[in-house]
Amino acid sequence: MHEECGVIGIYAKESEVVPQMLCFGLIALQHRGQESAGIAVVKDNKMQYYKEMGLVQEVFNTSILNRLHGDVGIGHVRYSTTGESYASNAQPLVVRYKGGSIALAHNGNLVNANAIRSELEDDGSIFQTSIDTEVIANLIAKHYHLGMKQAIVESVKQIKGSYALVIVMEDKLIGVRDPNGIRPLSLAKLEDGYVLASETCAHDVVGGTFIRDIEPGEMVIIDQNGVESVFFDQSSRKAVCAFEYVYFARPDSIIDGRNVFVSRKEAGKILAQENPVDADMVIAVPDSGTAAAIGYAEESGIPFNVGLIKNKYMGRTFIQPDQKSRELAVRLKLNAMKENISGKRLILIDDSIVRGTTSAKLIKMLKDAGATEVHLRVCSPPVIHSCHFGIDTPNRQHLIGAVKTLSEICEAIGADSLAYLSPEGLIKGIGLSRNELCTACFDGNYPMEVPENGDKHIFEK
Amino acid sequence: MHEECGVIGIYAKESEVVPQMLCFGLIALQHRGQESAGIAVVKDNKMQYYKEMGLVQEVFNTSILNRLHGDVGIGHVRYSTTGESYASNAQPLVVRYKGGSIALAHNGNLVNANAIRSELEDDGSIFQTSIDTEVIANLIAKHYHLGMKQAIVESVKQIKGSYALVIVMEDKLIGVRDPNGIRPLSLAKLEDGYVLASETCAHDVVGGTFIRDIEPGEMVIIDQNGVESVFFDQSSRKAVCAFEYVYFARPDSIIDGRNVFVSRKEAGKILAQENPVDADMVIAVPDSGTAAAIGYAEESGIPFNVGLIKNKYMGRTFIQPDQKSRELAVRLKLNAMKENISGKRLILIDDSIVRGTTSAKLIKMLKDAGATEVHLRVCSPPVIHSCHFGIDTPNRQHLIGAVKTLSEICEAIGADSLAYLSPEGLIKGIGLSRNELCTACFDGNYPMEVPENGDKHIFEK
Amino acid sequence: MHEECGVIGIYAKESEVVPQMLCFGLIALQHRGQESAGIAVVKDNKMQYYKEMGLVQEVFNTSILNRLHGDVGIGHVRYSTTGESYASNAQPLVVRYKGGSIALAHNGNLVNANAIRSELEDDGSIFQTSIDTEVIANLIAKHYHLGMKQAIVESVKQIKGSYALVIVMEDKLIGVRDPNGIRPLSLAKLEDGYVLASETCAHDVVGGTFIRDIEPGEMVIIDQNGVESVFFDQSSRKAVCAFEYVYFARPDSIIDGRNVFVSRKEAGKILAQENPVDADMVIAVPDSGTAAAIGYAEESGIPFNVGLIKNKYMGRTFIQPDQKSRELAVRLKLNAMKENISGKRLILIDDSIVRGTTSAKLIKMLKDAGATEVHLRVCSPPVIHSCHFGIDTPNRQHLIGAVKTLSEICEAIGADSLAYLSPEGLIKGIGLSRNELCTACFDGNYPMEVPENGDKHIFEK
Amino acid sequence: MHEECGVIGIYAKESEVVPQMLCFGLIALQHRGQESAGIAVVKDNKMQYYKEMGLVQEVFNTSILNRLHGDVGIGHVRYSTTGESYASNAQPLVVRYKGGSIALAHNGNLVNANAIRSELEDDGSIFQTSIDTEVIANLIAKHYHLGMKQAIVESVKQIKGSYALVIVMEDKLIGVRDPNGIRPLSLAKLEDGYVLASETCAHDVVGGTFIRDIEPGEMVIIDQNGVESVFFDQSSRKAVCAFEYVYFARPDSIIDGRNVFVSRKEAGKILAQENPVDADMVIAVPDSGTAAAIGYAEESGIPFNVGLIKNKYMGRTFIQPDQKSRELAVRLKLNAMKENISGKRLILIDDSIVRGTTSAKLIKMLKDAGATEVHLRVCSPPVIHSCHFGIDTPNRQHLIGAVKTLSEICEAIGADSLAYLSPEGLIKGIGLSRNELCTACFDGNYPMEVPENGDKHIFEK
């Protein structure tokens, strides 16, 4: 399961290291996308960009950064799926329109992109990528005669779905968050400017001091006059993606006032209250289950320990293992701590279950290593609906929570007992109110109408 | 001096090796562009493409070709300049429009691209590249409602300049040549289909049998019904680029009925008639001066010999030589054949002189090697006007023929005597009539109105 | 600080995936060396090898593995230093000698390599690398006439220092551990063969069942007859490197009967007993301090929590940061968990202190994030002597423990208090007896005579 | 058919661009080997080297050159065969011996390398490569106690075969040519030093002034005192490789007083005298047949013209063509000039015939292009014996001249007539006396005893 993207924008007129700072920020956001990375910078109306398939540190090096000059810029990392992916879909998207050049980077997913694209094509527009961002760029260009600010406002009023957008246009840095605020976007102060980023962990690595989250339905325009705020749509309820807290965001990030680690740990405590079990040890599926496991242990009084060791050198791509060695391959990533768990009754904490295949392998590994019991406690409710707002969940039929009962799942994965956190528990753990969160993947309660056909990647050239 | 591009298109419904054949063709056209290479293929309405900076053999390998499937396709090689060049400008350009996908590859230069782009931008169009091809794609998309054939016709009627275009649209292969026929484009028959290419040497490597040149102002549409011809503009005079014969095209190619080698050799004979000189030996600047030198020798009775040896391994990029070794660097490319020329009076045949800097270095090298006299004979008239139709000539102030007199040039390059072929001689050598050729770079007689401002690359994002 | 190397050897006559399994094992050992990786395999007396600079997954891919065939083989990963390093120093070393081919991979450091090399050079031997392994290969070749077994025995009797060696010779797999057993080496059973590895975590990923550690001064010869054991030197005391337990080895590995995680956690408990301090929270420097922190927390009753978040995407090489951004660069690797630590008195657990520079940065980061007190507890004694047996410790003058008093160090790193684990505490934590361990880096008590001049890399071509 | 190698050495104590000049020289020698390239330089007793698979311009770039510092150095290019080849076999070979470091680069082939290697192995020597150079390095190291000069002399006295050696040892540049002088090596003066190279074309690109060829059996030692000459063996007759003149050397090079182009042209004249034929045109197989074709035309009075065009962009490696397109693939390299040859009776001049397969394809291509007759004239005698001295000729059974009669060959290749140059004609063309040349590949008259078993690459690890 993969988050779609991470974005960053920096405005620092006195700085000479904006391209480098953008890269630093993207490294901090790398967990949000490992497929491609790119930055676009502008200086004196000259726009330059570089983007390529790969991790930030594979795409950029000193020689490339030395060729890029700008004091305003944006950056983007894109997710990796197992399927085919194209370099032409890397972001930022840089286009020329009547008023000059514009660069855009987008995190989220539009539910009416195809409809708008079709309308634009009716008027003769052409498309060179399959990313929603190109639709947004076209809309802004169509409205350029209204002036920059109004052109963006009119454009985002037409699009539906989730979006945290950073834009460079007319030497300004612009940030936009969708009316539901589904994807996060926050603002920090630099010594000589500002930074916008998907997560606050990116503020930290560029030396930013957190100011505030961008509000749902808000656009900020950053230039030499500071930060101007425009509220373009306040008719919708806030609906921050609960899955950011559950799995995607970095634990040290703060989203809409709630720290991710603290949310997970709190949820872990509630999980312990809701689903206690007698056992010898609480262990986590690293790394995303760690905070919840610490909370569970604290609440239950059962000691926390390390039961699974992660190989930090196990990268993304490797030799395709043959059938015989496929089973071994899982051990390349995680290995059981025999000495800690042998003869022990374990409570295994995972952040969520999507397909259930990994859970089954891990439980088998733990039992092979001598665990006498493995009680799986999942720190979120069952995922039973696809996400339409930027999380790459599989179709419903592959969501184990949607097709199997609790006891069927428990049997399928080989656990001695299985329990999920309740929706209420999750919401309480996160610490926002129910009507400030999007919990659609758990309850189907989408904050807006979504297409019947849930496929998110139907556009192909 | 660099030719802008080479194009190829193949329609071969029964073939499974169209991607490979496109690559073979592009290798044969590699002399027309060494900056980037790309192909686009379609099969059952699924368009795929691959393009990258580099030579054809650097860009493509078996593993990439195996991922590309199609029985109709086009290919493109792009020129290399010393300035900045972007991967995003590589061709073919593949876009989605209302009717599906379209791939275009273009050789030539439009003189009204900026004006059209500006109009399109008025309507809100955006541009992602700085290539004329994107303008053409936009025009076709604007007219899509007219149907494919008419959409292309209406589009090319709006553009002015030179263009040999190959297009894949609706599973058909389309070729278009501008009303003056400035850039070459010719058609050949394959066992199971057709091939269009900038030069006939590309027919040969894919096993094609030459049928005919595409006519100026003609569009051909190739599908399962064979070749349909549409004449969209016959109001202009033919104006085939004379420089294709002088320098750019491969000697084994036939353009509009005249073989390039034969043209050069004939011109060399006429050069001997027009500008005889008493000497011991005729030598060529390899490789483009060889044919003319053989002709000069044959006509003058002075023996042809090899005076300069070319290092065939001297590639494009290398260690930037420091001041001290810069002079040596020229010898990496060409070296003098001391034994042949020592004590000899030489007639040195070059195809053309643009800036004059290379000529000076070569003459010095020949004299250092013992030549007692070096009489430079240039097998084309002085280049005194910039090209607006796709040849990367420098601005007028850098054209030595435009800023210096014959005797000044002779002195500047250190020759014992200097003579150019007359315009009449060149035309006679080529073998087409004067009003079938564009000789604007020699006489300023452009076949259409050209912009005052001759800069060809003013569009920058 | 870097471990020198990791080694693996596999004998599996019925297997067709030995090259792949060797790579799996090397990935599990990747923490022992990130500079280069290589494997050598033999089948029917044909030796093949591949080695290159880079991580295992950068060096190997399916196409390379498909070219390597063998049912007996060895692999090696090599450490990375900041200084210059040569591809020619990558291992395994494959040489031809009178009896055929031999491949060697070595973890450790010889203290008399220069002396032996000098003697060999007296006889006219030449050296192509600067690795000790080439000295060993020469010795074996000198003694080839004694037969394989005796040739190795005579050779290792001449060398002094630390070595865990895996060798392929005459289609057999041989493992050798130095008489002190300084570097670890252990044996496991495969379904159809055997595996030797520096750490047991490598057994796990190839499906091996642990049999036993190779004894100090023992050589094992593995062939179709099984495992033959030869004890070539039992005159020395056992002296397993204590630093393997403190820092280098993977927590899930078992070395000489003691699990690394358990050792660290036990040591953490003793640290709490020896150096208690009143505080609100115990946090670790991830990842090597985690086990000790859990132990400290358990023993002290002060809750364990996460105070520093590690960016798992922060790789080895990157843009050289300029002075201004250098300070930010540390945040690319580790970031403080403000919410957890703000207003809190922290006990920070690190595994060891070598230079002290990182400690200072982390403590500043924690205080900037709001920690009111930071008490550093180090889970090993001060490092005051250089290692001569394969750990890349700096020279004494750069060891903060050797040049500063406890209070000076405490001040230098900005901690509110500082305490180290006692030597006795460490030994008790590890669980071996004092005279089974090498603790020379802490107490200077080297298990053999070491050269006055401690430089370990004095050989340069 | 491939030449084994090219070597260069530069001594220029005042120069700061020796690494760059070595690369320039290697580019000029690139035709002698395209598999690997490398240089080794020394400054103040510090030896550095860099070598890699690939062309000089692929292996070296500015960043690599900037890391190499030296005022004395050597360089090497190695041939490419279709079979397996190893990076470890790249040269120069740099080794450490008792006296310090030594770098060697070798062009040629030893006929007693295996015997010496076996003797060295008896004494316990190990070998890491399969190149003869390692044997030579071992011999020098064995004799180091005699002092540098005598150590080299004693070593080369033991080896048999062909060798042009350049060596850096004790900060001096040394050149050695075997007692028969089979491989070329010549000396030139630089402004501030000296250059040794396989061919004089490499002198030219580094600005050298030719002094003289190194004599057979001579060693030169170049240091601050100038050039010292040592004749170590004058008992053998001179036997310069005739094939250097026929095919391998660059036309602008002078070997032992005879320019290669002039030799070929003279031979072409004699070929015309010996084997006249009535025809319309003389054409060459480019590029190696060009000089002879010009000579043949001059002598016969039949006009020279271009009949085959070479694609200068057709590189070494490419998409493996399938069966169907394999026939087309030959056209990627050479294409027929239809206009010149159609309806013509051709005399096709090739430098030599080894296997005969290319000749057959070319003659078919010429006839398909309309040639009415093709008379092949080969400017050397039939190759009927394998070379043991560094030319990669196939085994006898693949030499068409060894297994077929003249008329069988003529039929096999589809020529209308076929004639070879006589041995006497070749010798006369080259201009050296018969007993100064090695013509063994034509007449079996080897200048020394050669092994029965002609395989040259029997050593495999």
Has residue A459 got a pLDDT over 50? Answer: no
CA distance B76 to B91: 6
Can you read off the two tokens belonging to residue C352? Answer: 């060891």
User: Does residue A288 have a known ligand-binding role?
Assistant: yes
Let me know if D210 is exposed, middle or buried by CB neighbors in 10 A (0-12, 13-18, 19+).
Answer: middle
C115, exposed or middle or buried, with CB in 10 Å at 0-12, 13-18, 19+? middle
CA neighbours within 13 Å on the CB side: how many for B307?
A: 34
C86/D contact by beta carbon, under 8 A: no
Contact C247, C1 (CB under 8 A): yes
> How far apart are alpha carbons A22 and A4 in whole angstroms?
19
C-alpha C16/C-alpha C20 separation (Å) is 9
Dihedral class, residue C299 (left if φ above 0, else alpha if ψ from -120 to 50, else beta): alpha
pLDDT at B456 over 50: no
D95 touches chain B (CB under 8 A): no
Contact B460 A122 (CB under 8 A): no
What's chain A's average pLDDT?
A: 91
pLDDT at site B459: 34
On chain C, the residues whose CB falls within 8 A of the CB of A294 are 304-306
**Token pair in block for residue D405:** 């009669």
**Using the 8-state DSSP alphabet, how is residue D144 labeled?**
G
Q: What percent of chain B has pLDDT over 90?
A: 80
Contacts of B335 in chain D (CB under 8 A): 28, 201, 204-205, 252
Q: Which pLDDT score, from 0 to 100, does residue C461 have?
A: 37
Predicted confidence band of residue B323 (pLDDT cuts 50, 70, 90): low
How many helices and strands in chain B, by DSSP H and E? 17, 23
Of the ranges B252-266, B412-426, C354-368, which one carries the lowest mean pLDDT score? C354-368
SS3 C46: strand
A160-209 pLDDT per residue, tens: 999 999 999 999 999 999 999 999 999 999 999 999 999 999 999 999 99
Per the CB < 8 A criterion, the answer to whether C28 and A311 are in contact is yes
Q: Which CATH number fits domain D255-443: 3.40.50.2020, 1.10.3720.10, 3.40.50.1000, 3.90.480.20?
A: 3.40.50.2020
Helix (H) or strand (E) run with residue D190 in it: strand D186-190
Nearest CA in chain B to A52: B87
Instruction: Answer whether C461 sits within 8 Å of D121, measured CB to CB.
Output: no
- Contact by Cβ (8 Å): C96, C46: no
Q: What is the pLDDT of residue D456?
A: 43
Does the pLDDT value for residue C456 go beyond 90?
no
* Res B34: pLDDT: 87
Report chain D residues whose CB lies below 8 A from the CB of C121.
Answer: 96-98, 141
Alpha-carbon gap: B227 to the closest alpha carbon of chain A (Å): 26
Most confident of A65-69, D212-216, D232-236: D212-216
Query: Does the annotation list D288 as a binding residue?
Result: yes
Residue D290 has pLDDT above 60, yes or no: yes
Q: pLDDT band at D138, cuts 50/70/90?
A: very high
Distance, C-alpha D456 to centroid of its chain: 16
The pLDDT value given to residue A39: 97
Burial class (CB in 10 A: 0-12, 13-18, 19+), D326: exposed
Share of chain A above pLDDT 90, in %: 80
CB C179, CB C216: distance < 8 Å: yes
Task: Give the neighbours of chain A: at least 3 Cβ pairs within 8 Å.
Answer: B, C
Contact A121 B98 (CB under 8 A): yes
The Cα of C337 is separated from the nearest Cα of chain A by a number of Å equal to: 5
The helix-helix angle for A132-142 and A113-122 (nearest 10°) equals 50
How big is chain B by its Cα radius of gyration, in Å? 23
**B308, B423, B429, B306: which is closest to B359 by C-alpha?**
B308
A337 touches chain C (CB under 8 A): yes
Q: How confident is the model at residue C80 (pLDDT cuts 50, 70, 90)?
A: low
Beta bridge partners of A220: A175, A229
Q: Which residues contact C366 (CB under 8 A, 6 or more apart)?
A: C307, C308, C336, C341, C346, C348, C374
**How does DSSP assign B361-411, residue by residue?**
HHHHHHHHTT-SEEEEEESS----S--SSSB-PPPGGG-HHHHS-HHHHHH
Say if residue A99 is exposed, middle or buried (CB neighbours under 10 Å; 0-12, 13-18, 19+).
Answer: middle
- Is B23 a known active-site residue? no
Cβ-defined contact of A97 to B143 (cutoff 8 Å): no
| pLDDT computed for residue D316 by the predictor | 55
D141 contacts in C (CB within 8 Å)?
Answer: 121, 124-126
Portion 37-56 of D in contact with C at CB < 8 A: 46-47
pLDDT tens per residue across span B354-407: 888 889 999 999 999 999 999 999 999 999 998 999 887 778 888 999 999 999
Rounded Cα gap, residues D1 and C224, in angstroms = 45
Q: A405 Cβ partners below 8 Å, 6+ apart?
A: none
Give the DSSP H/E element, type plus range, for residue B202.
Answer: helix B200-205
Tell me what the mean pLDDT of segment B170-183 comes to: 97
Give the E-state strand segments of A87-192 in sequence order.
93-97, 100-110, 161-169, 172-177, 186-190
Subunit contact D306:B312, Cβ cutoff 8 A: no
CATH number of C5-236: 3.60.20.10
Interface of B with D in 126-145 (CB under 8 A): none
Residue in the structure block whose two tokens are 């057959």 = D360
Asked if the C-beta of B95 comes within 8 angstroms of chain A's C-beta atoms, the answer is: yes
Confirm if D197 and D29 have CB atoms less than 8 A apart.
yes
Tell me whether residue B241 is annotated as binding: yes
Domain C260-432 has CATH 3.40.50.720: no
Instruction: Quote the pLDDT of residue B325.
Output: 61
Q: Chain B residues with CB inside 8 Å of A127's CB?
A: 95-97
Q: What is the dihedral of CA D156, D159, D163, D168, to 10 degrees?
A: -40
Is there a contact between D193 and D15 (Cβ–Cβ < 8 Å)?
yes
Percentage of chain D lying above the pLDDT 90 cut = 80
Whether D86 has its CB under 8 Å from any CB of chain C: the answer is no
Among 3.30.429.10, 3.40.1180.10, 3.40.50.2020, 1.10.730.10, name the CATH number for the domain at B260-310+324-432.
3.40.50.2020
Write the CA distances from B28 to B24, B227, C364, D172, D329, integer angstroms.
7, 24, 64, 48, 11
Summarised one tens digit per residue, pLDDT across range A304-319 is 999 999 998 876 555 5
Half-sphere exposure (Cβ direction) of C109: Cα atoms closer than 13 Å: 22
Q: In this structure, are residues A177 and A150 in contact, taking their beta carbons and an 8 Å threshold? A: no
Pick the CATH number of A255-313+323-443 from 3.30.230.10, 3.40.50.150, 3.40.640.10, 3.40.50.2020: 3.40.50.2020
In angstroms, the separation between the Cα of residue C447 and the nearest Cα of chain A is: 30
pLDDT for C7-20, tens place per residue? 999 999 888 889 99
Q: Which of C20, C55, C328 sits opposite A207 (nearest CB)?
A: C328
C122 and chain D in contact, CB less than 8 A? yes
Instruction: List CB contacts (< 8 A) between D21 and chain B.
Output: 325, 328
pLDDT score, position B62: 85
* Ligand-binding site membership of D410 (annotated): no
Token pair in block for residue C142: 């000198």
**Of residues A169, A196, A179, the one with CA closest to residue A42:** A169
Higher-pLDDT residue of A39 and C395 is: A39
What pLDDT does D88 receive?
76
Beta bridge partners of B96: A127, B101
- Among candidate residues D200, D197, D194, the one with its CA nearest the CA of residue D177: D197
Was A350 annotated as part of a binding site?
yes
Residue-level pLDDT at C314? 78
* CB spacing of A123 vs B122 below 8 angstroms: no
Of B73, A274, A322, the C-alpha closest to C15 is A322
Give the per-residue pLDDT at C322: 61
Q: Is C83 an interface residue toward D (CB < 8 Å)?
A: no
- pLDDT mean across residues, chain B: 91
If pLDDT is split at 50, 70 and 90, which confidence band does C318 have?
Answer: low
Assign D76 to helix, strand or coil: strand
Which residue of B306, B336, B340 is in closest CB contact with D290? Answer: B306
* Nearest CB to D96 within list C46, C96, C127: C127
Domain extents in chain A: 5-236, 255-313+323-443
C62 and A20 in contact by Cβ < 8 A?
Answer: no
Q: How confident is the model at residue A279 (pLDDT cuts 50, 70, 90)?
A: very high
Of A47, A138, A461, the CB nearest to B94: A461
Question: Shortest CB distance from D461 goes to which of C96, C121, C127?
Answer: C96
CA distance C255 to C239: 12
pLDDT of C40 above 70: yes
C-interface mutation test, from A252, A264, A325, A338, most C Cβ less than 10 A away: A252
CB pairs under 8 A between A and C: 162
Contacts 24+ apart (CB under 8 A), A301-306: A302/A347, A303/C298, A304/C294, A304/C304, A305/A281, A305/A337, A305/A340, A305/A341, A305/C294, A306/A337, A306/A340, A306/C251, A306/C261, A306/C290, A306/C291, A306/C294
Owner of token pair 């293929």: B41
Q: Indicate if the pLDDT at residue D323 is higher than 80.
A: no
Q: Which of A5, A23, A201, A379 is catalytic?
A: A5
Residue A326 predicted with pLDDT over 80: no
Give the one of C97, C127, C459 whose C-beta lies nearest to D121's C-beta.
C97
Q: What are phi and psi of A352, to 5 degrees?
A: -165, 165
* pLDDT computed for residue D4 by the predictor: 75
Flag whether pLDDT at A240 surpasses 70. yes
Residue B259 in tokens: 């073989």
Fold equal for B5-236 and B260-310+324-432: no
Instruction: State whether D207 and B252 contact (CB < 8 Å).
Output: no
Candidate from A95, A128, A144 with C-beta closest to B95: A128
Say yes or no for a CB contact (<8 Å) between D311 and B340.
no
Question: Coil, strand or helix: which one is C240?
Answer: strand
pLDDT of residue A140: 97
- Which residues of chain C make contact with A269, given a CB cutoff of 8 A? none
Identity of residue A308: L
Closest CA to B102 of B158, B154, B40: B40
For residue B86, the model assigns a pLDDT of: 65
pLDDT bucket at A271, cuts 50 / 70 / 90: very high
- pTM for the model: 0.92
> How far apart are the C-alpha atoms of A28 and C330, rounded to whole Å?
12
pLDDT number for residue B434: 94
